[in-house]
């Protein structure tokens, strides 16, 4: 049973720390910015890949710090993603986060994660997050590609129309719900 509870974070209102500036750091920073480009992200590592520097130049809210991790980096942070190549450092950061009740993801160690990143399907305002319960990120990626292919581009128009109708509907909550369920019946 997949007991993960999905939520959609307003990440641009939060302070994110990424520790590690290698491939994993790049992958996770890319995932954050692809969804929430204005997020305040601090990325700390003694060595930071050139692609990360390039991303930071395009995203003014990304701050790069060339340093090794120490607990002071956790101050004022809401969410932490860890991906150094030193397992003992990763474990130490996870323990520091737990002590401060910060939510933490240790990218290559599911047992140490409070949350996983998901594969994300985007069609305009529609966003679908895919989880395989950690069983196969590659399956999640492939399934994202399948959904991206089959979802029609007209979806955004449908959502915009539905929003307009929703804003215009009069009556109490139940009446509005009945009307919206009626209009969207064709989708079944
Ligand atoms: C979805 C996505 C989101 C993202 O990262 O943005 C994501 N991984 C992606 C890609 C990917 N990651 C890996 C490969 C190589 C092939 C393979 O192993 O399959 C590929 C494929 C590729 O890159 O092509 C390696 C890998 N990943 C994890 C482990 C450790 C382990 O399983 O023990 C190892 C092995 C390390 C090793 O062997 O040493 C762990 C996790 N990866 C997760 C998410 C979480 C579970 C999500 C779920 O429930 O499915 C979880 C648990 C934690 C987390 O990272 O949050 C993103 C696809 C985005 C997209 O394209 O749509
Ligand atoms: N590359 C992948 O796709 C992948 C996938 C799954 C798991 N992993 C595992 O994840 C880990 C990281 O992989 P990678 O490819 O990003 O490694 P990498 O060698 O490219 O990068 C490691 C990063 O960690 C930083 N670092 C090391 N010690 C640090 C410290 N004390 N404080 C802050 N930063 C520190 C380094 O400066 C570097 O930026 C490895 O253990 C790897 O086996 C990698």
Q: Which residue has the higher pLDDT, 174 or 76?
A: 76
Tell me what the mean pLDDT of segment 51-74 comes to: 98
- From the CB of 141, is ligand 1 less than 6 Å away? yes
Q: Do 24 and 79 belong to one domain?
A: yes
Query: What residues pair up with 17 in beta bridges, in sequence order?
Result: 42, 80
pLDDT score of 176: 84
Q: At what angle do helices 50-58 and 23-35 cross, to 10 degrees?
A: 20
Same domain, 105 and 35: yes
Enter the DSSP assignment of 120. E
Within the chain, residue ranges assigned H as helices are 23-35, 50-58, 87-99, 137-150, 155-168, 173-183
CA triple 83-89-92, angle to 5 deg:
110
Domain that holds residue 136: 118-151
Average pLDDT, rounded, for the chain: 95
pLDDT, tens only, 88-142: 999 999 999 999 999 999 998 999 999 999 999 999 999 999 999 999 999 999 9
pLDDT digits (tens, 9 = 90+) for 25-50: 999 999 999 999 999 999 999 999 99
Length of the chain in terms of residues written: 188
Residues 33 and 69 in one domain: yes
- pLDDT category at 182 given cuts 50, 70, 90 is confident
Q: Return the closest-CA partner of residue 29 out of 108, 101, 89, 83.
A: 83
pTM confidence score: 0.94
Burial class of 159 by CB neighbour count within 10 A (0 to 12, 13 to 18, 19+): middle
Same domain, 48 and 91: yes
pLDDT at 132: 97
CA of 84 to the centre of ligand 2 (A): 4
Q: What is the pLDDT confidence band of residue 183, given thresholds at 50, 70 and 90? A: confident
Same domain, yes or no: 16 and 66: yes
Instruction: Specify whether 17 is located in the same domain as 105.
Output: yes
Residue 2 lies in a domain: no
Residue with tokens 């539905």: 162
Q: Residue range 174-184: average pLDDT?
A: 86
Contact 145 CB / ligand 1 (< 6 Å) = no
Rg (C-alpha) for the chain, rounded Å, is 20
- Considering the domain architecture, whether residues 104 and 124 belong to the same structural domain is answered as no
For residue 22, give the CATH number of its domain.
3.40.50.720
Ligand 2 binding pocket (C-beta < 6 A) is 19-25, 44-48, 68-69, 83-86, 89, 107-108
Please answer whether residues 41 and 32 qualify as being in contact, where contact means their C-beta atoms are separated by less than 8 angstroms: yes
Closest ligand to the CA of 29: 1
Between CA 115 and CA 57 the distance in angstroms is: 28
């Amino acid at each position: 049973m997949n007991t993960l509870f999905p939520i959609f974070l307003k990440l641009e209102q939060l302070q994110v720390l990424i520790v590690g500036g290698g491939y994993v750091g790049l992958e996770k920073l890319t995932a954050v910015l692809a969804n929430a480009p204005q997020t305040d992200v601090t990325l700390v590592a003694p060595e930071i890949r050139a692609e990360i520097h390039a991303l930071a130049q395009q995203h003014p809210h990304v701050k790069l710090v060339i340093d090794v991790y120490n607990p002071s980096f956790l101050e004022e942070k809401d969410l932490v993603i860890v991906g150094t190549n030193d397992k003992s450092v990763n474990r130490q950061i996870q323990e520091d986060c737990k002590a401060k009740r910060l939510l933490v993801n240790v990218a290559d160690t599911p047992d140490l994660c409070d949350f996983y990143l998901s594969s994300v399907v985007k069609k305009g305002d529609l966003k679908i997050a895919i989880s395989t319960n950690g069983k196969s990120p590659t399956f999640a990626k492939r399934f994202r590609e399948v959904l991206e292919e089959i979802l029609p581009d007209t979806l955004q128009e449908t959502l915009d129309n539905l929003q307009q109708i929703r804003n215009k509907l009069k009556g109490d909550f139940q009446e509005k719900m009945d009307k919206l369920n009626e209009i969207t019946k064709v989708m079944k």
